[in-house]
Amino acid sequence: MDGNLPMRSFRQHLTGRVCWTRMQAESGQSIETIIARKELERRAGDGLFFWGIGNAPNRSIKSLAANADEIDVVFSLMKTRPKVRDVTPTGVLAWQTYFDIHGTEHVLPPHVLVTSRMGTSTGRKRVHYALMCLSDAELRLDDQGPFDPLAYRNLSDAAGPIGPSQVTALVVRKTSESVASSYRINLRARLAGSYWVRLGKPCVLPKGADAALKAASMRSGGKVSCDDWVDIVSDIRGTTVSAIESQATAF
């Protein structure tokens, strides 16, 4: 896919600390659909959008967010095909709340919708996270140049290299990047708010709501207004809550 993506000019240098995340189809949605949905979210939120991820935050996140340190988020397409459970999940969850750096739980902003697959290899998914991102530029899948993970180390006492199983990592640049890297910067933003948060109150997304969500994403190119998007999110949240009200303790 990378070879067919349009090039887009962007400021060349990344911040010294970078949050790098690899992306692919998830929750039964293609990566193109996910990005189109996040662009609707970004426009309706004055640049703010939440990007769902599976792993817990780095221990440094609280202090970095408290200091409002500038950290770029680099999104790169995965090299492997998406897993069957991501392409055709047994069910989809919509998360309703998030916990800030102080541990306080908040309802997600009215324009934000974060979904995940419902099942895991060990049962029903109980934990999910999100990056709080800000971008002044339109979100679209393109090629903004190389990203060399070998030039970075994890932001930790051990300062180890990025592991193959690390889908999302907070890293610091240690050497010059190679332009020959096979990873590309396919999307870009910067961390905002509490940076990297745990989500709460997952609810099952009914199939009808899932279809409406995909339809809205397909019409994202200026055909869905910000108010329309907020209404869509509100309707989906209302449906999910009523759909699993009697099962709330199962999570």
Tokens standing for residue 201: 């109150």
Q: What is the pLDDT along the chain (251 residues), one digit of tens a residue?
A: 555 776 665 546 899 999 999 999 888 889 999 999 999 999 999 999 999 999 999 999 999 999 999 999 999 999 888 788 778 888 889 999 999 999 999 999 999 999 998 876 666 778 999 999 999 999 999 999 999 999 999 998 888 999 988 999 999 999 988 888 889 999 999 999 999 999 999 998 887 787 777 788 777 666 889 999 999 999 888 877 543 443 433 33
Tokens standing for residue 119: 């099942």
Do 68 and 190 touch, CB atoms closer than 8 A?
no
Neighbouring CB atoms inside 10 A of 11's CB total 8
The pLDDT, as a whole number, for residue 1 is 55
The pLDDT, as a whole number, for residue 12 is 60
CA of residue 106 relative to chain centroid, distance: 18
CA distance linking residue 55 with residue 195, whole number of Å: 13
CA distance linking residue 70 with residue 17, whole number of Å: 8
Q: Where are the alpha helices (DSSP H) in the chain?
A: 31-44, 61-66, 84-87, 207-218, 226-243
The pLDDT, as a whole number, for residue 7 is 60
pTM of the model: 0.89
Angle between the N-to-C axes of helices 207-218 and 226-243, in degrees from 0 to 180, rounded to the nearest 10:
170
Tokens standing for residue 170: 């907070």
